[in-house]
Amino acid sequence: MKAPHLLLLSGGLLLAESALAAEAGARPLNWHAIGMFLVFVMFTLGITRWAALRTRSASDFYTAGGGISGLQNGLAIAGDMISAASFLGISAMIFMAGYDGLLYSLGVVAAWPIILFLIAERLRNLGKYTFADVVSYRLEQTPIRITAAFGTLIVALMYLMAQMVGAGKLIELLFGISYLQAVLLVGVLMICYVTFGGMLATTWVQIIKAVLLLSGTTFMAFMVLKHFDFSTEAMFAGAAAVHAKGVAIMAPGGLLANPIDAISLAVGMMFGTAGLPHILMRFFTVKDAREARKSVLYASGFIGYFYLLLIAVGFGAIVIVGTNADFRDASGAIIGGGNMVAVHLAQAVGGSLFLGFISAVAFATILAVVAGLALSGASAVAHDLYACVIRKGQASEREEMRMSRLATLVIGVLAVILGLLFESQNIAFLSGLVLAIAASVNFPVLFLSMFWKGLTTRGAVAGSSIGLLSAVILLVLSPVVWVSLLGYDSALFPYSNPALFSMTLAFLGAWAFSVTDRSARAETERGRYLAQFIRSMTGIGASAASRH
């Protein structure tokens, strides 16, 4: 597929290709990986039990009682963002295309200043459990929460499906168990983490996974640089010398030749990241806006550091893995597919023991991400829909927590079913939609609700709906689906990423439907903006609200 996709390419297509390239049964079982994986699972289940004993209220379940520090939350956010798809996918992109693969990683890093300066502090001051709390602060509760919850569930389920397929294919290839067993295992563990441990368990699973992945990738990068006598110039020169494209891998244009596609990709990555519900939810786990800002600061550092390491991993793999016949099959292709180069590099620089460690960490990464996604989806159902819309704020905390756990179970079952249904399908287009939908459905309304006095309920609902419909329709008409999946000769919409267009339409829709709304309700909503603005900037009343 020639067209570029979003950074979060999810393990779906990447690892589906790997499984097609080599049967799991043809590889010996990696007992180091299995052993380390079991240690991780037992340890995290112990954390879940510890967290379950401390999860007594809805605040504990959704936000860990607001007791997470800025450093801990920054690590957990980094754990959400540096997924297995990033680790395997970006290193594979650099291995394949060189410079352009690096650009994919920079797009997500660029999102964090937006989150730091525009969102984090105001979100923490205005919200309670979900970003719908912020959007509905001065607007009508029922339509806003229904719209926000619907957008959250779509993003969470699509991302979950991609991660489930990625987990199934990765474990099928590395651990020697069947795809069905792998998907069921991920689903059961995800449900356990969220149902019993809530946000506290999910946070600590993310922190542990982030530390492990950062440590493992640091060791890989160190060993790669050691191979080149710690000379990045020698590494780049060596990669250009052995790569099929030669020195062309050091120049842009390999994946992002079309400037409109490149801009649209950047828009999706930057603003989509700022609209991911499971990321936004993390800012409610800290005690105040100051800790929220510190969270972003730490997360930016950890995420930026991780993607810098991937430069060495990707370019080093071109030389170390690309020229080693042990990592190629009889046809000359990379064993397991090109997207397994990071795993092969781990074996090359650290032997079978380190290969087991990286394999187990990659699986732990998927477990941690799906736990965060399931929790965001459960909060949308239980808090936004059940407690605030159906029960109109009259539900007790016990009822809301019971609904959260039921929602987690349903979401987990749906994720397993979707992972099984789409096992052999080309689901890259669904992964590509995740950030485009988040950028089109969530970010415009969240941004306008905090910064524009004129936004009304009618405008917010219209903006979200237009963003969702336009993102889906444009992607179906794009080369990703229209040509690659449906088999037509040319696409009706020429660009692969719809975010630039769908997000623009969402902003325009929210503006147009707001300025034409002359109802008494709209005037009241505009009049509430000053009180909202004061609270968002000062935090007055935020602490009290978060306790109730």
What's the per-residue H, E or C state across 445-487? HHHHHHHCCCCCHHHHHHHHHHHHHHHHHHHHCCHHHHHCCCC
CA distances from 150 to 191, 194, 292, 442 (A): 21, 20, 26, 10
Neighbours of 46 (CB within 10 A): 11
Model confidence at 463, pLDDT cuts 50, 70, 90, reads: very high
Burial 266-304 (b: 16+ CB within 10 A, else e): bbbbbbbbbbbbbbbbbbbbbbbbebbbbbbbbbbebbb
Are 166 and 14 in contact, with CB atoms under 8 Å apart?
yes
Does 388 have pLDDT greater than 80?
yes
HSE-up of residue 121 (Cα within 13 Å, Cβ side): 17
The CA distance from 131 to 245, in Å, is 46
Are 98 and 254 in contact, with CB atoms under 8 Å apart?
yes
Share of the chain above pLDDT 70, in %: 89
Q: Which of 386, 149, 376 is nearest to 277 (CA)?
A: 376
pTM over 0.75: yes
The CA distance from 386 to 394, in Å, is 10
The torsion region of residue 358 among left (phi > 0), alpha (psi -120 to 50) and beta comes to alpha
Asked if residue 5 belongs to a domain, the reply is no
Expressed in angstroms, the distance from the first to the final Cα of the chain is: 51
> For residue 251, what are its two tokens?
């120049």
Asked if residue 4 belongs to a domain, the reply is no
Does 173 have pLDDT greater than 70?
no
Asked if residue 215 belongs to a domain, the reply is yes
Share of the chain above pLDDT 90, in %: 25
Are 464 and 37 in contact, with CB atoms under 8 Å apart?
no
pLDDT value at position 253?
A: 74
Average pLDDT on 171-184 reads: 78
DSSP letters of 288-327? SHHHHHHHHHHHHHHHHHHHHHHHHHHHHHHHHTTT-GGG
The CATH number for 332's domain is 1.20.1730.10
Instruction: Report the range of poorest mean pLDDT among 48-52, 323-327, 363-367.
Output: 363-367
Average pLDDT on 70-77 reads: 92
pLDDT value at position 269?
A: 84
pLDDT value at position 543?
A: 55
> What length does the chain have?
548
Q: Check residue 251 and report its DSSP letter.
A: S
Asked if residue 447 belongs to a domain, the reply is yes
What type of residue sits at position 455?
A: L
Q: Tell me which residue range forms the domain holding 399.
A: 11-547
The CA distance from 14 to 315, in Å, is 19
User: Does 231 or 158 have the greater pLDDT score?
Assistant: 231
Does 13 have pLDDT greater than 70?
no
Are 367 and 189 in contact, with CB atoms under 8 Å apart?
yes
Asked if residue 251 belongs to a domain, the reply is yes
What is the count of structural domains for the chain? 1
DSSP letters of 126-179? H-SSSHHHHHTSSS-HHHHHHHHHHHHHHHHHHHHHHHHHHHHHHHHHHT---H
Q: What is the mean pLDDT of the chain?
A: 82
Asked if residue 272 belongs to a domain, the reply is yes
Q: Which of 500, 502, 495 is nearest to 2 (CA)?
A: 495
Asked if residue 415 belongs to a domain, the reply is yes
DSSP percent split of the chain into helix, strand, coil, nearest 5: 80, 0, 20
The CA distance from 469 to 269, in Å, is 19
The CA distance from 106 to 347, in Å, is 27
Average pLDDT on 335-356 reads: 83
Q: Which of 51, 295, 92 is nearest to 194 (CA)?
A: 51
Tens of pLDDT, residues 23-43? 334 456 667 777 887 888 888
The CA distance from 62 to 196, in Å, is 12
Q: Which of 397, 548, 547 is nearest to 58 (CA)?
A: 397
> For residue 326, what are its two tokens?
């042990």
Model confidence at 143, pLDDT cuts 50, 70, 90, reads: very high
Q: Backbone phi, then psi, for 287, in 5-degree steps? A: -80, -25
Asked if residue 125 belongs to a domain, the reply is yes
For 216-369, where are the E strands, in sequence order?
none
pLDDT value at position 177?
A: 75
The CA distance from 12 to 156, in Å, is 15
Average pLDDT on 527-535 reads: 90
pLDDT value at position 431?
A: 62
Average pLDDT on 232-261 reads: 84
Does 546 have pLDDT greater than 70?
no
